[in-house]
Structure 1
Amino acid sequence: MARPGGQGDLVVLTIGAYGHDEQSFFRALVGADVDTFCDIRQRWGVRGSRYAFVNSKRLQQSLAELGIRYVHLKSLAPTQEVRAAQKEADKAEGVAKRQRESLHPEFAAAYRKECLENVTGAGVLASVPADAKRVALFCVEELPSACHRSLAAEWLAGYAEAPIEHLVP
């Protein structure tokens, strides 16, 4: 589908870190022909050595070596207050963040109101290189249904009339 402003076809992809090792993560990006990687995390780091490959500096270096552009879209990151809604729901349901399979409706509503209503599709796309064709939205959760990246992808794809592809381990 056409990117608004006649900038060509755009595909919105999503990827998380959990469930991947370093090789499978970058193999998935290359295999999907991702040309632009959008980090939509509030924090750029992940604790522990298992996922150190997605800590900002190392991640940006690896992407550059693969010829994939890196963009930090902090405007699509949930605020601390919005994240608290999901944390409370996880606690009430006795679910660990890494085992979560879906977002709580309260979190989804708060994310849409506090984050997505405060940005425009045109503004987000203006932050991405004009020749980007395959744009991956990244956060850490394994399943897109358990992460705000699925909400951001639906919103952006709706604006750009673009298909969505979820890259999962």
Structure 2
Amino acid sequence: MYVSPEGSKYYQNREHSTIETLEEIFIKIHFDFPGSNILLAGDMNARTGDLVDYIIDDSLEYITNEDIYPIDDFNQKRHNLDKEINAFGTILIHLCKTHGIHIVNGRFPSDADGMFTSHANKGASVVDYMVASTELFPSIKNFSVIDDSDHFPITCCIETSITGE
């Protein structure tokens, strides 16, 4: 996916930015396909710094209805060389916490530091992400950033089995 940068002319005469529209898409996916998982990658022009993308101490001790709010025990620390935070980054983190998805960047040995994904006029940044549902993380075997242009490709290895019914 691609999200135009904050302040882009693309957003003139639009009520929501592309990243804000993701909330509506995630809600529709969860409604139309209960129990489905999300895997999304691309240039989101979001800068998330060191913001945590999961709810710390997420347990039924605080929530009384697990049917309305499914408990997510994800708590894997994420690293990010980019310490900046922008509005789109804050929105992305909110989406992660609300929908049980998490940023893959900065959580695997080949990207242990949370490498920069872009070198542009304003310097180095992390704006390209892969996000995945909590349930998909055990299947993700590796994630890396390939430093070979001004926008670095991100790669992910997912291992799964296919069973027939």
TM-score normalized by the length of structure 1: 0.30
Greater fraction helix? 1
Which structure is higher in strand share? 2
The structure whose Rg is larger is: 2
Q: TM-score of the superposition, structure 2-length normalised? A: 0.30
